[in-house]
C-alpha cells in the first residue's frame, strides 16, 4: 500500500457514530462491548462506532469472535505470530498497532517482533516459528499453504490448531479490508505500523 500510515490519518470514509446517533438496535450492542472491553467512558473507539452503523452484521461478528475465543486451542504466542505477520502484510496499521502489545504480552520479544516485519526470511526463527510466519505469507500471496510449509506445521500442530491458524489469517484479512478501506482512525496509543 503506497499510502501506508497516511490511510489511518486520513478522514474516515464512513464516519463513526456519535453516541446520540446510535440506533435502538445499536445501543444494547454498544453497552455489551463497553462491558466486554472494560470501556468506562461513553466514547466508543472509532472502529466500534463505525461498525455500529450496521449493528446486525457487527453483532454477528462480535458473537463469532466471542465464541471463537472460547473454542481456541492455540497458544496466544502462536496466534500473535500469524496475526502480526498478517497485519504487517496487509499494511493494517490498526491490527499491527494493537497486536504488538498483545504479542509482547504473549511472550514475543522485541527481536521477534522486528523479525515479523522482515518475514520468514529473517534470521533467527526456529523451524516451527518460521513455518507459522510462512503460513501467513503464503495465504496472503496465494490463498493456499505450500506442501513444504504444511509439512512443518503439521508436525507441530494438531488438525484443530491448523484450522484455527487458517481461520485467523483469513479473519485478520477481513479486518484489514474493512478498517483500511473505511479509514478507521487508530485508538489513542496505537502507533500503527510504527509500533514495536
Could you read off the pLDDT tens digit of each residue along the chain, which spans 196 residues? Answer: 444 544 555 899 999 999 899 999 999 999 888 887 777 666 788 999 999 999 999 999 999 999 999 999 999 999 999 999 999 999 999 999 999 999 999 999 999 999 999 999 999 999 999 999 999 999 999 999 999 999 999 999 999 999 999 999 999 999 999 999 999 999 889 999 999 9
Q: Is the dihedral of CA 128, 130, 135, 138 positive or negative?
A: negative
> DSSP secondary structure string, 9-71?
HSPPSSPPPPGGG--TTHHHHHHHHHHHHT--SSPPPHHHHHHTTSHHHHHHHHHHHHHHHHH
Considering the chain, tell me which residue range(s) the CATH 1.20.1290.10 domain(s) occupy.
76-194
Q: What whole-number distance in Å separates Cα of residue 135 and Cα of residue 138?
A: 5
Whole-model pTM: value is 0.91
What fold is seen in the domain 76-194? AhpD-like (1.20.1290)
CA distances for 107 relative to 71, 92, 104, 128, 191, angstroms: 21, 22, 5, 16, 20
With contact defined as beta carbons under 8 Å apart, do 191 and 97 qualify? yes
Amino acid at each position: 500500500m503506497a499510502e501506508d500510515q497516511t490511510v489511518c490519518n486520513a478522514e474516515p470514509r464512513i464516519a463513526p457514530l456519535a453516541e446520540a446517533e446510535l440506533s435502538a438496535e445499536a445501543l444494547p450492542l454498544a453497552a455489551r462491548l463497553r462491558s466486554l472491553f472494560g470501556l468506562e467512558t461513553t466514547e466508543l473507539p472509532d472502529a466500534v462506532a463505525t461498525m455500529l452503523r450496521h449493528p446486525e452484521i457487527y453483532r454477528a461478528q462480535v458473537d463469532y469472535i466471542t465464541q471463537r475465543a472460547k473454542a481456541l486451542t492455540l497458544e496466544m504466542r502462536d496466534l500473535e505470530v500469524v496475526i502480526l505477520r498478517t497485519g504487517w502484510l496487509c499494511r493494517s496499521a490498526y491490527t499491527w498497532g494493537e497486536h504488538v502489545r498483545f504479542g509482547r504480552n504473549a511472550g514475543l520479544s522485541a527481536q521477534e517482533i522486528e523479525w515479523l516485519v522482515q518475514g520468514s526470511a529473517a534470521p533467527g526463527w526456529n523451524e516451527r516459528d518460521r513455518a507459522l510466519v510462512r503460513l501467513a505469507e503464503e495465504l496472503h500471496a496465494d490463498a493456499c499453504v505450500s506442501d513444504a510449509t504444511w509439512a512443518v506445521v503439521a508436525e507441530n500442530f494438531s488438525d484443530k490448531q491448523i484450522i484455527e491458524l487458517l481461520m485467523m489469517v483469513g479473519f485478520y484479512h477481513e479486518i484489514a479490508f474493512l478498517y483500511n478501506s473505511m479509514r478507521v482512525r487508530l485508538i489513542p496509543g496505537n502507533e500503527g505500523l510504527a509500533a514495536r
